[in-house]
C-alpha cells in the first residue's frame, strides 16, 4: 500500500512544482512588462522635460535646475544649440569616471583576450593600456604617466577615443561624465574646485557651455589596437585593472549589439553620407584642416607605412593587416588625432577630407 501511495503521491508533487514554476514565470513576465513600461515612462519624461524647457526658453525664460534635462549645469555662453543637448540615460556621474585607478602588469592581465581592443599610450619610455570593455562602463580615466597629466576618454555611442592634456592654462582639470550628449557624443564636465562646472565635448575637444565655454583641450597621441599587438610592442606596459571599485561586468563589450547595427540611438546633425555611418576612422586635424582615414579602407591588401601630409605637416601611418589596426607612427608638430565612427567626426567637422588609399 505504501508503494501505491508513493506512486499516487507523485502526480500531486509534480502538479505542485508545475504550479510554482508557472507562478514564477508569471512573476518574471509581469516584472519584465513593468520594467518596460517604467523605462518607456522614464524616457517619455526625459523628452517631456526637454520640450518644456525649450518652450520656457522660447518664451524668454531660463533653464531651471529643477525642470531642465541639463540639470545642474550652467548653460551660459553655450556654443552648441541647447535644445540638442540630450540626456543619454544615466544621470550625472551615473557613469563613473575613474580617478587614481589601479593598474597591473601585462603578465597579470589574465582578464584580457588577445583580440580585446585597448587604447594605448606611450610617453617617455613608459606605456599604459586601457581596455575598451572596461571603458564602456566608465568613459573617462583621469590619469598620469611619466609626469604628464591626461584624461583618457571613450564614447561607446561614437566608438570615439581621445586623450586630452589635463593642464589647461596652467590649471589642472579632472573630468567626470555629465550624463548629457550632443550629437550622440559624450559631454564631459570639469570637477572645478570653485563649483563652476563647464561642459566639454569630446569630439569638439572644447568646452561648449559654462564659464569656460570656448576653451580648448589639446589632444595627445594615442592608438587603438588589440591587446596582442600592444603587449607585444610594449612588454612592460601597465594595464587598467578590473578592480575599479565599482560593481560592473567587464567580461565582454557592453555595446556589442549596437556596434553590430547600422542604426544610431540619438539624432545627429548633419549626417554625412559619404561613408556608412559606423565606419571606423582615424581622424587627423591641423589648425586649418581635417582628414579622416578609414581603417577598413586599408583592409584590401595594403599594409606597411603610409606617408602623407596635412597642411604641410608630414605624418606616417602604419596599417597592420594581422590586427586590422591603423595608427599614427610619426607626426610633425601641429597635428592631433583621435579615433571615431565616421558619423560622429563628420558631424563636428563637415569639411573633412576622406583619404583615398
Single pTM value for the model: 0.81
In this model, does residue 6 exceed pLDDT 50?
Answer: no
pLDDT of residue 295: 87
Task: Give alpha helix (H) positions in 161-245.
Answer: 227-233
In this model, does residue 323 exceed pLDDT 60?
Answer: yes
Instruction: Kindly report, residue by residue over 44-68, the tens digit of the pLDDT.
Output: 333 333 333 333 333 333 333 334 5
Instruction: Kindly report, residue by residue over 151-170, the tens digit of the pLDDT.
Output: 999 999 999 999 999 999 89
- Average pLDDT over the chain, rounded to an integer: 84
Instruction: Kindly report, residue by residue over 286-310, the tens digit of the pLDDT.
Output: 999 999 999 887 766 566 888 999 9
Burial 250-268 (b: 16+ CB within 10 A, else e): beebbeeeeeeeeebeeeb
Range 259-285 average pLDDT: 97
Task: Give alpha helix (H) positions in 217-357.
Answer: 227-233, 256-260, 342-348
Q: How many CB atoms lie within 10 A of CB 4?
A: 8
Give the residue among 158, 161, 171 at the shortest CA–CA distance from 215.
171
Instruction: Kindly report, residue by residue over 193-245, the tens digit of the pLDDT.
Output: 788 899 999 999 999 999 999 999 999 999 999 999 999 999 999 999 999 99
Amino acid at each position: 500500500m505504501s508503494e501505491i501511495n508513493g506512486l499516487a503521491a507523485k502526480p500531486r508533487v509534480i502538479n505542485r512544482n508545475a504550479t510554482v514554476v508557472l507562478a514564477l514565470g508569471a512573476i518574471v513576465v509581469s516584472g519584465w512588462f513593468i520594467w518596460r513600461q517604467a523605462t518607456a515612462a522614464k524616457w517619455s519624461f526625459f523628452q517631456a522635460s526637454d520640450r518644456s524647457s525649450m518652450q520656457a526658453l522660447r518664451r524668454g525664460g531660463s533653464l531651471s535646475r529643477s525642470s531642465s534635462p541639463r540639470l545642474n549645469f550652467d548653460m551660459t555662453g553655450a556654443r552648441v544649440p541647447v535644445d540638442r543637448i540630450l540626456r543619454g540615460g544615466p544621470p550625472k556621474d551615473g557613469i563613473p569616471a575613474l580617478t587614481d585607478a589601479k593598474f597591473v602588469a601585462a603578465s597579470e592581465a589574465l582578464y584580457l583576450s588577445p583580440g580585446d581592443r585597448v587604447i594605448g599610450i606611450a610617453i617617455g619610455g613608459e606605456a599604459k593600456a586601457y581596455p575598451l570593455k572596461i571603458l564602456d562602463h566608465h568613459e573617462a580615466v583621469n590619469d598620469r604617466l611619466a609626469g604628464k597629466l591626461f584624461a583618457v576618454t571613450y564614447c561607446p555611442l561614437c566608438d570615439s577615443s581621445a586623450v586630452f592634456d589635463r593642464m589647461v592654462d596652467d590649471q589642472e582639470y579632472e573630468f567626470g561624465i555629465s550624463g548629457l550628449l550632443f550629437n550622440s557624443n559624450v559631454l564631459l564636465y570639469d570637477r572645478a574646485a570653485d563649483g563652476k562646472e563647464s561642459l566639454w565635448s569630446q569630439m569638439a575637444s572644447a568646452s561648449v557651455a559654462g564659464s569656460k565655454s570656448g576653451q580648448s583641450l589639446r589632444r595627445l597621441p594615442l592608438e587603438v589596437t588589440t591587446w596582442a599587438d600592444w603587449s607585444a610592442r610594449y612588454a612592460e606596459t601597465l594595464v587598467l585593472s578590473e578592480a575599479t571599485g565599482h560593481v560592473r561586468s567587464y567580461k565582454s563589450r557592453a555595446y556589442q549589439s549596437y556596434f553590430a547595427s547600422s542604426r544610431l540611438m540619438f539624432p545627429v546633425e548633419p549626417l554625412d553620407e559619404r561613408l556608412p555611418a559606423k565606419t571606423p576612422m582615424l581622424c587627423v586635424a591641423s589648425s586649418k584642416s581635417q582628414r579622416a582615414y578609414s581603417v577598413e579602407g586599408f583592409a584590401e591588401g595594403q599594409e606597411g607605412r603610409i606617408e602623407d601630409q596635412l597642411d604641410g605637416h608630414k605624418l606616417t601611418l602604419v596599417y597592420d593587416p594581422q590586427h586590422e589596426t591603423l595608427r599614427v607612427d610619426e607626426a610633425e608638430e601641429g597635428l592631433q588625432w583621435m579615433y571615431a565612427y565616421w558619423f560622429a567626426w563628420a558631424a563636428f567637422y563637415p569639411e573633412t577630407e576622406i583619404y583615398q588609399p
